[in-house]
Structure 1
Amino acid sequence: MSRGRIADSLLAGLASAVVAWPLTTLFAPNTWIRPTLVVIAMVVLAGVVGRLLTTSWIGVAASQLVGLVLVSSWLYGRGHLWHGLPTPDMVLAFNNLLVQARETIQNYAAPAPTNRGITLAIGLVIGVAAIIVDHLAVMRRSPALAGLPLLTAYLISASNSGDALNPLYFLVAAAVWLLLLGRQGIASLRRWSTTVPMSTTGRAHHDDRDGVYGYAAVGRTLAIGGLVCAVVLPLVIPHLPTRYLIDGLGRSSDATGYSDGQVGLRTTLDLTRSLESPSTSPILTYTTNAPRLTPLRVGVLNRYDGEWKPDPEDVERSRLRQVDPPADLDPSVPRETYRISVDDSRIEAPQIAAPTPVVAGDLGRVPWGIDRQTSVVSVGRTASSYSFSYLALSPTAESLAQPTTRPGGGVVPETLQVDPDSADRVSALVRQVVPRGANRIEAARAIQQYLREDGGFTYSLNVPETIRNDFGQLEKPDPISLFLRSKIGYCVQFATAMIMMSREAGIPARMGIGFLPGTANRGVYTVTGAQAHAWPELYFEGIGWLPFEPTPSGQQTTVAPPYSLAPTGDSEQTPEQSATSGPTGSATTTAANRNDPGATSAPTTTDTGSGVGSWLSDRTATIALWLGLGLLVGILGALAVPLAARNRLRRRLRHAPDDAGRVEVEWQSMVERIGDLGVIPPRGSTPRQAGRFYQREAYLEGDQSTALRRVVDGVEQSRYMRPGSGTVTDIRTDTAAVVKAVAGVRRRKDRLRATWWPTEGVTEWRERRDALTQALRQPLDRFAQWRESRRS
């Protein structure tokens, strides 16, 4: 049965199975596991039978493909078979199932639902991978090459999961591959390492004449060290961005779990759970010609019943170019038109991040439209690159000074509904904060000022769940009351509070969700997951919905729009004056914070600083730092063996009993260093015989030959002269000259090996390892002896 290579075939099948294990993180439930294991078992069985019948790798691979088709037909093609054989109808059925699998991967984030299409696709992919692994590892006896398809199968899971994979997945897969590699290596070593017939039953005697067990010990040490490094090093080196399987499973399933795949903001916001785990993963990059930046809106929420919920979609999508301004925007409102161009957007369809209101756009071949809330949406495919033209409104003080009477007409009724659970507290707070007789903009400014500065609120992602009342008892009120009493929250809580207070004051209000403007680097803005944001939008007749900013700067840097700030003098500030004023109107926009996410002014490019910070971004500096540290660690690692060799020689010289002992140490060191260069004298040679061998092999002549002669004479003198009869000659300088002369006639790779991997250094590290092992083993041995004594 040796031709079947059953053991190797089983190991190859096991390797294919374990690399499929991480797929459990991508699909749920795990009903695909059993049929996939059956497919792998069929591939292994077909491979063993094929090798028993033929020595042709084509014949074996053909038998495995036939086995794969048959078992797939039996598992997934029931109803489309003829006496157990596949029919043309089965091909059509498989096509439909694979289309279903593709749509599932494209439309779901991990973990995606496991349907028949997914089960078939996994079975076929892992089955083909098992055939390739079996061919490389068993037929071609190249388990090292078999690691490539195994790695590919593993990376499908690693690169499409929303979070980092558990290291156990990698360790198990790597261990099985190393078993394949070690088994093949030992078999090869037994074939060429000796001409003495060896027993096939293992170590019959307590010797290792063929070197197999020493080889295996070194292999195990290297394997364990490699696995440890593979798990530890990714924790300290910078991670490069990844790409995902057809823009599907790499997405995170909620708004708090950003990855390098596609993302989507929640359109149902729970006040106690949104934005708990912000991420620095890039979401999109863009350029703009706007002098003042605005948030990038993704959606709008009107209805609140303990959590924010979206309205049903109502939009006709097509490949639009021009968009009419909002119907409720009066032509007399001052405005400017600016352009934004987005690249590498990872926001999943139908969401699109864009300023508002949009008047023109280009999404390439992606259909898009404007919903009833004036948000841009796409359909079918994600728009990774697009551009929009939008209006930046500068309403006058007179147009904003509108009464707070509840308007009717086109205003959605939900935008005036106050949460009943917190209505009493909100009403009392509005009476306290909003001046009597205030118009709409005055009321909005007063509410924003109270939440942003005057009310003593604190920005924090750690939202309390309970609060103590006046009697010291813990209470868990409704989310809005909890925030107004604890005064701790983040953008969602601040925005919700302002919306409810504005509605109570008679101003229609709703929630906008999206992203802050991002950070700039050489005119290109980058928006990350941590810059997801929520803000209130208040309605003004003839103007439309205007965003406000009640959230104070915390982990997110926010700046209130100019029109939302109270005037500092007798007259209203102009937009140009407001652009350089903070929440209280003081000048706060300096060169140090112009690129802050949410800054109202676009950064200028007139900085003439010559420092590194003027042209290196924080991310580039971080990567450069890690690369520098990696280079330093690499240099120290490369010097580890040569330095150990030098340290060993110095220690041996220091511990030598006399001058003769030091000469002997120098001679042995020279022999080992020349041996590292590939010049090894016959075993048992005397110093004179070794000298003649070196002179002949290295073509030594002149001063080189004289130095070698002095070395040989010195060694013979130290070994054979009578004690006290003379002074022993120091040969250190001559040994260095001889080694240099021999290195000059050797190949470059021999010189490199001798320099960076000297035998003395390897021996030194091996002795240190053995000493450490012995030191660690002694307590265990003592404990074992103690237990044995207790038993006896």
Structure 2
Amino acid sequence: MSRGRIADSLIAGAASAVVAWPLTTLFTPNTWIRPMLGMVFAVVLVGILARMLTTSWIAIAAAQLVGVVLAGSWLFGRGHLWHALPTPDMVLAFNNLLVDARETIQNYAAPAPTNRGITLAIGLAIGVVATIVDHLAVMRRSPALAGLPLLTAFLISASNSGESLHPMFFIAAGGLWLLMLGRQGIASLRRWSTTVPMSTTGRRNTDDHDGAYGYAAVGRTLAVAGLVAAVVVPVVIPHFPTRYLIDGLGRSGNSTGFSDGQIGLKSTLDLTKSLNNPSKAPVLSYTTNAAILTPLRVGVLNTYLADTWREDPDDVDYGRRTTVNPPPDLAADVPRETYRISVEDSRIEAPQIAAPTPLVSADLGRVTWGLDRNTSVATVRRAARSYSFSYLALNPTQDSLAQDRQGATGGILQEDLQVDPASQDILSRLVDDVVPQNASRIEAARAIQKYLRTDGGFTYSLKLPETVKNQFGQDERPDAISLFLRSKTGYCVQFATAMVMMARQAGIPARMAIGFLPGTADKGTYTVRSSDAHAWPELYFQGIGWLRFEPTPSGTQNTVAPPYSLAPTTPGGGSSATNTATGGATTSAPRTDGRNDPGATDPVSTTGSGSTFGNWFGPRTRTTVLWIVLGLLIGILGSLAVPLAARRRLRRRLRHAPDESTRVEIEWQAMIERIGDLGVIPPRGSTPRQAGRFYQREAYLEGDQTEALHRVVAGVERSRYAPPGATIADIRTDTQTVVKAVSGARRRKDRMRAAWWPTEGLIEWRERRASVGRILRRPVVRFQDWREARRDFRA
């Protein structure tokens, strides 16, 4: 049975299964666990049986992969089998399931729903990982290399969770990997030859037979220390911004998904999560001939369900067109101006692309692109680093905006009028209070924007409250929209969501748009950074189309309300050019603060005398200082460990000495070791008097130093040879004088080595390690003794 290596195979399979444990934070419910365990069990079982039949690693790995395919077919391919064997039809079925899994990962934030495709994908992936781990750890006997596929599988879930994982996920995976390492190390040690005689039972006649116990004790100590350090150290050191691997799950509810490579906005927005991931990474730079800048839209979200915005499936006709037809719902008589924007060094990942709206022409080179038929959102097949668009800046008249709220809505989606049922009561009351009864569509939209932006007493903050007080002073946890409207605290996502729902409650089609603010100007070139991410509402007007509104207060992000969204100041039409009383200026000033939304910490003031302090002691500087302080602290504690252990050992030995003679002998041996640390070592077997003459000659002692050495030698000789009851003099003071004198005659590096690396301290640490090893080894010894006793009893 040893050829099957059952124990090693089971440990490798357990490690492969445990690294999938963090996936429970990404998918719900956890119905994928049992099928995944079935796949791992198939790999382990096939590996054990195959090793009993052959030693060819190619044949064993091939058999395990066949086992993965068969197990997957039996678990997921029912109805597509021929006498329990997979058919070509099953391949097509698996392809459809895997496509469903990919779409789920791309369209949902964690935790995503578990469907058959997700279950199949996890099972196949972990099955392949288990095969690789089994090959490396069991066949190749290289558990260290097996840690690479285990780490890869673990990081896929850890990197995409968006939040810190429970330490048990890491401890379980790391513990099993260390167990594989330990077993392989002990097996390698026992393969070495030995001259230790064996007993009749086959065991060597030593307490630590073949040295395996001592080796295992040290290994266990290091393993436990390493796991504890890996869990504790990240708690006290600063964290870098989280990076993500893929869209969808990779951008959880509290992340923006920015990385050092390509950048993308998540396709879902969770109103219950705060945003605390700062990033100043540039997204793109552009030039434009527009006098008034407009945000760059990336996507549109229509469906709101369970406190989360989700996008609907897209309907895009891809091509390389250079002209775009005007929106079908845009009347020809709407005043407009055409502007052009040229983008360079875009780092937005496909299929997203930042563009103003509505578009009339495009130049994306060889990149195929298209407009979603339902939302008019630009989408690309592959990322475009440089491109240019021409777009329309609409300036609708007051007469064209003065539409009935319940009027015709054209070809909008049904979701654009759906109100969140959980918050409908508070929305209905607010709309009745804020919107005049006979208000037109534009009047209702302006009233809602004005209420959220200036009149309602709302506060901008990236830290969201979790509860709100009711009329009785008790804490309540309502739905996300009700919580925002009652606490009046939130960031752009909450402001935009509230306006969308209030507009829908008032009968106006509305939806959520996500993208970037115009950015910061420098010599005519605008730079958009990840901290410029923003969300805003779009409302539908018949004959015009979707118009942007801005309910987020202007004092936080330099958000600027469009001219048509502000109440006119002159009779007969035309919007106000500047109207701070109703919500902010209409011109777009370049951003200089870099405040982040969504995806950053609370805004930091850059005005006044505090700006210089902030520049010198910003987050990066504080992080560097913290690293330096932490390193110095660890260095100081580490450098004191051995000297303190030496001092403690000497004091303990003196405290437990039974008589004065023993104390003198301990002081003499301590002096010899301390002088030996300085590099002055007397010949082996020297008597105290011979050692004294050697020290006097080598260290050039004279005067009081010589007399102190003579007293030490005389004290040692008296303690050894004096009759019982004789008075023994204390030599501790004289030993210190001799050591100091010898140290003064030595080189500086010898003195430093003796002070920070004393032999007494090293002996103390070795004894502590041996003591811990004996404690850890005790249960193993007892178990082996019990097993031998049981074997002898059966014999």
**Do these two structures clear the TM 0.5 threshold for a shared fold by scoring above it?**
yes
Distance 2:586 2:320 in 1: 45
Distance 1:242 1:452, change over 3 A: closer
Specify the code of the residue in structure 2 equivalent to 1:733.
Answer: K
State yes or no: 1:40 paired with 2:39: no
Counterpart for residue 251 of structure 1: 250
State yes or no: 1:345 paired with 2:344: no
- The partner residue of 1:62 within 39, 58, 63 is 58
TM superposition shift of 1:302: 6.9
TM superposition shift of 1:171: 1.7
Listed one character per residue, the Cα deviations across residues 137-180 of structure 1 (whole Å, up to 9, x for unaligned) are 3xxxx544443444344334434555544432322232223233
Distance 1:343 1:6 in 2: 54
Distance 2:609 2:502 in 1: 47
Counterpart for residue 448 of structure 1: 449
Counterpart for residue 781 of structure 1: none
Distance 1:70 1:357, change over 3 A: closer
- Residues 236-315 of structure 1 correspond to what in structure 2 (within 5 A)? 236-240=236-240, 247=246, 250-252=249-251, 264-266=266-268, 274-280=271-277, 285-289=283-287, 294-300=294-300, 313-315=314-316
- Residues 283-432 of structure 1 correspond to what in structure 2 (within 5 A)? 285-289=283-287, 294-300=294-300, 313-324=314-325, 326=327, 327-328=330-331, 333-334=336-337, 336-341=339-344, 343-345=346-348, 349=351, 352-361=353-362, 367-372=368-373, 375-378=376-379, 383=383, 385=385, 387-389=387-389, 391=391, 393=393, 395=395, 399-400=397-398, 402=400, 404-406=402-404, 411-412=410-411, 425=429, 428-429=432-433, 432=436
SS at structure 2 position matched to 1:297: strand
Listed one character per residue, the Cα deviations across residues 514-542 of structure 1 (whole Å, up to 9, x for unaligned) are 1453987997543369x55342436486x
Distance 2:103 2:282 in 1: 20
TM superposition shift of 1:274: 3.0
Contact 1:98 1:118 survives alignment (8 Å): no
- The partner residue of 1:130 within 128, 131, 134 is 134
SS at structure 2 position matched to 1:731: helix
Distance 1:635 1:519, change over 3 A: farther
TM superposition shift of 1:376: 2.3
Contact 1:363 1:383 survives alignment (8 Å): no
Deviates more, 1:126-135 or 1:293-302: 293-302
TM superposition shift of 1:227: 0.8
SS at structure 1 position matched to 2:285: strand
State yes or no: 1:71 paired with 2:61: no
TM superposition shift of 1:47: 3.3
Listed one character per residue, the Cα deviations across residues 215-267 of structure 1 (whole Å, up to 9, x for unaligned) are 4433322221211111222334344567766x478535x7566667976333x
Contact 1:19 1:154 survives alignment (8 Å): yes
Distance 1:392 1:25, change over 3 A: same
- Residues 87-106 of structure 1 correspond to what in structure 2 (within 5 A)? 103=99, 106=102
Counterpart for residue 196 of structure 1: 196
Counterpart for residue 725 of structure 2: none
Distance 2:629 2:521 in 1: 25
Specify the code of the residue in structure 2 equivalent to 1:451.
Answer: L
Specify the code of the residue in structure 2 equivalent to 1:333.
Answer: R
TM superposition shift of 1:40: 1.7
Distance 1:367 1:319 in 2: 5
Listed one character per residue, the Cα deviations across residues 1-41 of structure 1 (whole Å, up to 9, x for unaligned) are 66766544554454444445555666752313213212122
Specify the code of the residue in structure 1 equivalent to 2:513.
Answer: I
Distance 2:476 2:165 in 1: 40
Contact 2:536 2:549 survives alignment (8 Å): no
Distance 1:70 1:679, change over 3 A: farther
Query: Please, which runs of 5 or more residues in structure 2 have no aligned partner?
Result: 106-111, 599-605, 723-727, 776-795
TM superposition shift of 1:101: 7.5
Distance 2:274 2:369 in 1: 31
Distance 1:72 1:759 in 2: 58
Contact 1:539 1:545 survives alignment (8 Å): yes
Specify the code of the residue in structure 2 equivalent to 1:671.
Answer: E
- Residues 125-164 of structure 1 correspond to what in structure 2 (within 5 A)? 125-137=129-141, 142-161=142-161, 163-164=163-164
State yes or no: 1:733 paired with 2:740: yes
SS at structure 1 position matched to 2:250: coil
TM superposition shift of 1:549: 1.8
- The partner residue of 2:670 within 668, 671, 678 is 668
TM superposition shift of 1:203: 8.7
Q: What is the TM-score normalised by the length of structure 2? A: 0.67
Distance 1:276 1:390, change over 3 A: farther
SS at structure 1 position matched to 2:530: strand
State yes or no: 1:107 paired with 2:110: no
Specify the code of the residue in structure 1 equivalent to 2:740.
Answer: T
Distance 2:331 2:13 in 1: 67
Contact 2:509 2:540 survives alignment (8 Å): yes
Contact 2:42 2:68 survives alignment (8 Å): no
TM superposition shift of 1:510: 2.1
Distance 1:24 1:414 in 2: 35
Specify the code of the residue in structure 1 equivalent to 2:250.
Answer: R
Specify the code of the residue in structure 2 equivalent to 1:510.
Answer: A
Distance 1:143 1:372, change over 3 A: closer
Listed one character per residue, the Cα deviations across residues 554-601 of structure 1 (whole Å, up to 9, x for unaligned) are 9977553455445789998986x67x9993669998997475659xxx
Contact 2:271 2:480 survives alignment (8 Å): no
Distance 1:476 1:197 in 2: 73
Distance 1:75 1:173, change over 3 A: same
Contact 1:255 1:263 survives alignment (8 Å): no
TM superposition shift of 1:551: 3.4
SS at structure 1 position matched to 2:283: strand
% identical equivalent positions: 38
Specify the code of the residue in structure 1 equivalent to 2:127.
Answer: G
Contact 1:641 1:757 survives alignment (8 Å): no
Counterpart for residue 638 of structure 1: 638
Counterpart for residue 169 of structure 1: 169
TM superposition shift of 1:344: 3.9
TM superposition shift of 1:339: 3.8
Distance 1:112 1:431 in 2: 43
Listed one character per residue, the Cα deviations across residues 256-312 of structure 1 (whole Å, up to 9, x for unaligned) are 66667976333xx8xxx6353435276982334468764443444678999988777
The CA RMSD measured in Å over matched residues stands at 6.2
- Residues 1-16 of structure 1 correspond to what in structure 2 (within 5 A)? 7-16=7-16
Distance 2:53 2:708 in 1: 66
Distance 1:548 1:666 in 2: 88
Specify the code of the residue in structure 1 equivalent to 2:170.
Answer: F
Contact 1:303 1:414 survives alignment (8 Å): no
Distance 1:232 1:445, change over 3 A: same
Counterpart for residue 792 of structure 2: none
TM superposition shift of 1:491: 5.1
Distance 1:400 1:33 in 2: 65
Distance 1:418 1:214, change over 3 A: closer
Number of matched residues? 716
Specify the code of the residue in structure 2 equivalent to 1:287.
Answer: S
Distance 1:480 1:573 in 2: 31
